[in-house]
Homo-oligomer: A and B are copies of this chain.
Amino acid sequence: MEEKRILLQKQIKHYLCWNEKTHAKTPNNSPTPRTTTLSPGRRQTECDNLSLISVPRQNPKQQSNASHHYSVTGTAPDGMRQPLPHFRRNRLLQRSPFSNPACNHPTVNKHQHQQTQQAANPRNKFDFRTYMLEKINIVNQALDAALPLQNPIKIHEAMRYSLLSGGKRICPIVCLAACQLVGGDESTAMPSACALEMIHAMSLMHDDLPCMDNDDLRRGRPSNHVVFGENVTVLAGYALLARAFEHIADSTRGVSPEKIVRVIGELARLIGPEGVVAGQVADLRCGGQGRRLDIGLEQLEYIHLHKTAASVEASAVAGAVLGGACGEEIERLRKYSRCAGLMFQVVDDILDVTKSSEELGKTSGKDLVADKVTYPKLIGIDKSKKYAQKLNREAQEQLNGFDPEKAAPLIALADYIAHRQK
């Protein structure tokens, strides 16, 4: 515990040193983006504040489509580029969304097999990994531009610290993919995609506060309040939320103001007291902090549909509206995203009890220890697996009738969520 504390202090010092250096170097107080080339064979890079988590696959034979070099564009803190402390490097490895993607996993079920057969046809070929890496990079660049480091420095620093610290960027990517699926242009949906990530970052910052989950680490770095203090984190959180709506209102181009108003309304509703917050509060009361409370399947689904799926729903609906979808298309994408979001949680529950900590890349059995109500606990592992498969089928069904090429990212994303092994 003492060692961990000392390590945290060192990391904070490094971070602050970097900021001082950056401010001294750049007159406009904005860190200069730079490009770094990583050598092949390096499995994971230190990428705090970088734009891309690059993860060449473990087995070189599997690297057929992946480029050996990844261009990493972002803001790289000098002080943070030193070798990582052991526990921190491990956490980064564990957090990678693609370190062992399910789509490449040897265990292929019937549905995956169909996908593989489709992939044999060049017209159907879709490289999910490359797509995701490309989109993560684009989103990170847009986020960097949407929230430049400006006066007052401290609050922007705190906001950027959490916003640009990596992450899967699932919500922004769903937003962009939904927009393109219905024929819209990616750039139209980008401000909303960034706003979704700002809201996600705010949510994580608040989740980590001592009065919430009291977590001092996030994505392998000290949590926001550990670096900036609780008071600044609370302010930075709601500043991110305000900036999210400002960004949609001020930066969305190429669509009618009517659509922008609708997107703001939908997004605000889905993250508010009838959406994400509803799930968070229900979770707090039903074991979110380790208390044992007997809740049923219905309540559990309520929590996950609100706490997790509502954000994905907001992403899909925002993208669809901005892309010019008709009412039916919007509702189908809404259903897709609710199924995908709920499935994410069901699979998470299954992995917690079926995988070792080593396989999982994080502490397994956490839900058991916390005596949390989960799907395996309520209906057993087999039924939970079947339920996840059902949700995946339902999600995929919503995409029938759309252009298969444009639907490929969302199909692959659902499959990735269903079959992930960690």
Contact = CB atoms under 8 A, between A and B. Distances in A.
Interface of A: 150-152, 154-156, 159, 202, 206, 209-212, 229-232, 234-239, 241-246, 248-250, 256-258, 260-262, 264-265, 268-269, 271-275, 277-278, 280-282, 284-285
B234 A272 contact: no
Please give the count of copies of this chain that the complex contains. Answer: 2
Contacts of A262: 249
A173 to B, nearest CB: 22
B206 A154 contact: no
B152 A278 contact: yes
Contact of A277 (B206, B235, B261, B264): B235
Contact of A268 (B159, B249, B256, B272): B249
Contact of A256 (B257, B275, B278): B257
A226 to B, nearest CB: 13
Contacts of A245: 245, 264, 268
B249 A234 contact: no
Contacts of A156: 273
A102 B93 CA distance: 65
A2 B159 CA distance: 40
5 contacts: A211-B234, A234-B234, A236-B277, A237-B238, A243-B272
A282 B235 CA distance: 11
Majority-rule SS of A interface residues: helix
A277 B238 contact: yes
Given A245-B245, A273-B159, A273-B242, A154 B268 contact: no
Given A249-B262, A257-B257, A281 B235 contact: yes
Given A156-B273, A246-B264, 12 more contacts: A152-B273, A152-B281, A155-B281, A212-B234, A235-B280, A235-B281, A236-B273, A238-B241, A239-B277, A241-B242, A250-B265, A261-B264
A265 B249 contact: yes
Contacts of A278: 151-152, 155
Nearest to A153: B281
A234 to B, nearest CB: 5
Nearest to A249: B265
A245 to B, nearest CB: 4
Contact of A273 (B155, B212, B234, B268): B155
A231 B249 contact: no
Given A245-B268, A261-B260, A281 B212 contact: no
Contacts of A229: 211
Nearest to A245: B268
Nearest to A277: B239
B238 A285 contact: no
A246 B248 CA distance: 13
A258 to B, nearest CB: 4
Question: Ordered nearest first, which 6 A-B pairs have the shortest CB separation?
Answer: A246-B268, A242-B272, A249-B265, A211-B230, A257-B257, A239-B273
